[in-house]
Every structure is written in C-alpha cells, then in structure tokens.
Amino acid sequence: MILRGTTQVFGIFGHPVEHSLSPIMQNAAFQALGMNAVYVPFPVAPEKLADAVDGVRALGIRGVNVTIPHKEKIIEFLDELDRKARMIGAVNTVVNKDGYLIGYNTDETGLIKSLARDLDFCPKGRRILMLGAGGAGRAALVALAEMGARWIGIVNRTREKAEDLARSFRDSFPGTIFAVVGLDETELAEVCPSVDLVLNSSAVGMKGEVFTQIPWSRLNRSAVVYDIVYRTPVTPLVTTAREYGYRAADGLGMLIAQGEDAFRIWTGQDPPEGAMQRALGLP
C-alpha cells in the first residue's frame, strides 16, 4: 500500500506487543477491501498509557485494540464505555470519534463465536469449568452466563479472587450457578464428570506451562476443551486434551472473531469473509 496524508491509522496498545498477530489480520482485511488504512503495533509501557491515549486524540488515530497489561487501566482515560465493557470492567477496543474515545470489549463475543465455529459448542444449559479469574476470565464469565450457562465453576490459584468474581456476578445472572472449585485434584475430580466444557481463561500456557492438576481420567468423555491462549502449533493444554481423546481448540479462533468485531466497530463494514483467518495461514 501507499501511505498518504489521508491514510487512516489504527493500531494495538500492549506491553509487550511484538508477538501480536493483529497487524497481520487487520491489514489483510484493509487490503482486501481496498481501504486506505494501516494497522500498527504500538509498544506502550504501563507508565506511558495516559500519554499514549492522549496521542490517539492528538494524532487522529481512528481506533486501537488494547491488550495486556492495559485492558483495565485504560478505562480511566476514556470518555465512554459500552455496556459490556462496563460490566466486564475491561476494554480491548477503542474507537475515536473526533477526539471522543469510546471503549468496547469484543473478547466475550469473540469467545462465543469461536466456541461455535471451532468446537460446535453452545453454552446454553451447560456446565463449564473455567480456569482463571482475571480480566479475561471476567469477559469469559459474562459471555457464558449471558448465553445461558447453567453452572460455572471458577478455579484460581487465589481462591479469594475466584470468590470475588463469583460474588460480583451472581445478582446479574440469577439463572447461572457460580461455584468456586479448588485447584487440587480432589475437588476437580468431584466436578469433572459432569463438566461439558473446560475453558482456560488464564495466561497459563503462554510460555509453555502445563496444568498438572486436571484429572483427565475423571473428565466427562463428551466434554470439550478451549484455551484462550494460542501458541504455535498449539498450547500444552490443547495437546494434552487431544492426547486423551477430547476435542480441543486454542484461542486463535477467538482472536480472529474479536478482531472481526473490532473491524466492524471502527469502520462500520464487515471484513471480507475469511480474510483474517487466511492471513494467519488457517484454512
């Protein structure tokens, strides 16, 4: 593409951000539509976040994605939040409307779309074991509960954090039972036979770490496994699940789906069907 004074600029704020696949995906979509736009990775240190947000306004950057560690902190620098972002307490997409910055969270819709596409799984009426209680866990919990999950068991190294997460959403989703499950084989073995989905919402696996506590022999044979983390070729959790005979998928599908939603928010257009997926070398 040829950069001009009229080129629209989009990007992603993160620290680190060099590993992000979003520039490949978004630029492929812009090029497929013939748009005069470019998507740039911006490494933003935590102490520079406020300055970076000011830069969005000052430079007329049309929109940015937001990733670790800024998803929660960026909220205080924005002018408005969409309902889902406010409920989740985290933002992964920002649109700039003439200097007025609005925050969205497309992670939760991205998760639901990926579960359907990659595992043919619908959360309605199902029992889900969720590993992790951080920002991604909040988005996943909202997504699953809004889709009508019957039971969500939250597993976290710090039990108090899992209890706080469950408590904060019980009133919002009375149709879903929220439970806290200890990170030990005994408690996990009690719930695994009735679980329909094991979902990792934590960062475990990003550096090749392995969950050793999951009692695979006790897990419901019809259960599926989803890891929001993605690695090449796949994460250790996905590898292990498949070795035990379970259908499993990593977070690449979620990355693509949330990226497609961000594209729509910024441009008002649908990205070309499959453009982002093909840009990542996926069929």
Is residue 209 located within the same domain as residue 175? Answer: yes
Is residue 73 located within the same domain as residue 140? Answer: no
Residue 2 lies in a domain: no
Burial class (CB in 10 A: 0-12, 13-18, 19+), 119: middle
Report how far apart, in Å, the C-alpha atoms of 188 and of each of 6, 9, 138, 168, 192 are: 56, 47, 21, 23, 6
Residue 16 lies in a domain: yes
Average pLDDT, the chain: 94
Query: Of 79, 105, 131, which residue constitutes the final position of a domain?
Result: 105
169: CATH: 3.40.50.720
Is residue 82 located within the same domain as residue 126? Answer: no
pLDDT digits (tens, 9 = 90+) for 197-231: 999 998 776 676 777 889 999 999 999 999 998 88
Is residue 69 located within the same domain as residue 121? Answer: no
Q: Which domain holds residue 198?
A: 108-253
Other residues' Cβ atoms within 10 Å of the Cβ of residue 58:
10
The answer to whether the annotation marks 251 as part of a ligand binding site is yes
Report how far apart, in Å, the C-alpha atoms of 69 and of each of 73, 129, 169, 218 are: 8, 25, 23, 35
**Residue 76 confidence (pLDDT) above 80:** yes
Is residue 64 located within the same domain as residue 114? Answer: no
Integer Cα distance of 272 and 260 in angstroms: 9
Q: How many domains does the chain have?
A: 2
Q: Structure pTM?
A: 0.89
Is residue 120 located within the same domain as residue 83? Answer: no
The answer to whether the annotation marks 5 as part of a ligand binding site is no
Integer Cα distance of 112 and 219 in angstroms: 22
Q: What percent of the chain has pLDDT over 70?
A: 98
What are the catalytic residues?
Answer: 71
The answer to whether the annotation marks 97 as part of a ligand binding site is no
pLDDT digits (tens, 9 = 90+) for 223-258: 999 999 888 788 999 999 999 999 999 999 999 999
Is residue 201 located within the same domain as residue 149? Answer: yes
The answer to whether the annotation marks 158 as part of a ligand binding site is yes
Omega within 30 of 0 (cis) for the link into 272 = no
Residue 265 lies in a domain: no
Other residues' Cβ atoms within 10 Å of the Cβ of residue 107:
30
Is residue 164 located within the same domain as residue 247? Answer: yes
Is residue 77 located within the same domain as residue 160? Answer: no
Is residue 72 located within the same domain as residue 201? Answer: no
Q: Where do runs of H (alpha helix) occur along the chain?
A: 22-33, 49-59, 83-88, 107-119, 135-146, 159-169, 185-191, 236-243, 252-267, 275-279
Integer Cα distance of 117 and 103 in angstroms: 26
